[in-house]
Amino acid sequence: MRHRLVSILLAAGAVAVWGCATDHSLTAARMQAGQGRLAVQLVDDPTALDSIASVNIFVVRVDARVRVADSTAADSAVDGDGDFDDRGRDFEHDHRDSTTWVTIASPNKLINILELQHGDTALLDSTVLDSIKFRSIRIIIDPSQSNVTLKDGTVLTATSTPGVEFFSRGRFGVLVDLDNDVDVQPGKTTTLTLDFRLGDSITLKGHSIGHDGLVIRAIVRGHCH
């Protein structure tokens, strides 16, 4: 979001500079009665991330299913351990063709997403599956075990004041925006990389983190190779 904002501002700045270059009288003109001067400037404004030391998200599990899902389906039946856990055994035909969510990873741990901003990765799980192609992935997050720590040491949670406002007070499922299908092929290792877009997911709830807290609307993209 921050980079996107800078791009927009740069485009506007380019127009302003072009206008000044074609009319030198614009900056040198003196104000007449009833006139005011408009100054255009560019700034890289600090974001919520500049005050944050860690963003700790508790990832319960990662589920997959064969059929394409929407955000509503991804956030349904998130409690428990998933509809069906077939790791290490063959899928039955009805599971291949159903909308059943299959648990493919169960990290059940707190992960500091901020540490992963510079290309580092955190392995959530590794498992053996029969050959199959998944078209939908969801991540189950538990806000009650998640928190954000500010650089001054303040810890924000879902129940603190100020706090962190999540998508839901209980566990919720985040639909992953997949670039391609997750194709598990015989004799090959398939790697699914989940990119938690922290800069796009976290925003100020008001004017100040210390006073108003934060809002987290998780945006996750996925790529399989």
Q: Are 138 and 163 in contact (CB under 8 A)?
A: no
Query: Three-state DSSP class for 27?
Result: helix
Residue 27 has pLDDT above 60, yes or no: no
Give the whole-angstrom CA distance, residue 2 versus residue 4.
5
Residue 44 host element (H or E): none
Average pLDDT over residues 134-142: 94
Separation CA 55–CA 49 (nearest Å): 9
Structure tokens at 22: 């074609």
- Greater confidence (4 vs 84) lies with 84
3-state secondary structure at position 115:
helix
Among 10-24, 71-85, 103-117, 147-161, the range with the most confident prediction by mean pLDDT is 147-161
The answer to whether the beta carbons of residues 63 and 101 sit under 8 Å apart is: yes
CA distance linking residue 149 with residue 143, whole number of Å: 14
pTM attached to this predicted model: 0.75
Residue 136 has pLDDT above 60, yes or no: yes
Over residues 210-225, mean pLDDT = 92
- Range scoring the smallest mean pLDDT among 10-24, 185-199, 203-217: 10-24
Q: Which residues are within 8 A (CB) of 46 and not within 5 positions of it... i.e. 6 or more apart?
A: none
Q: Are 73 and 109 in contact (CB under 8 A)?
A: no
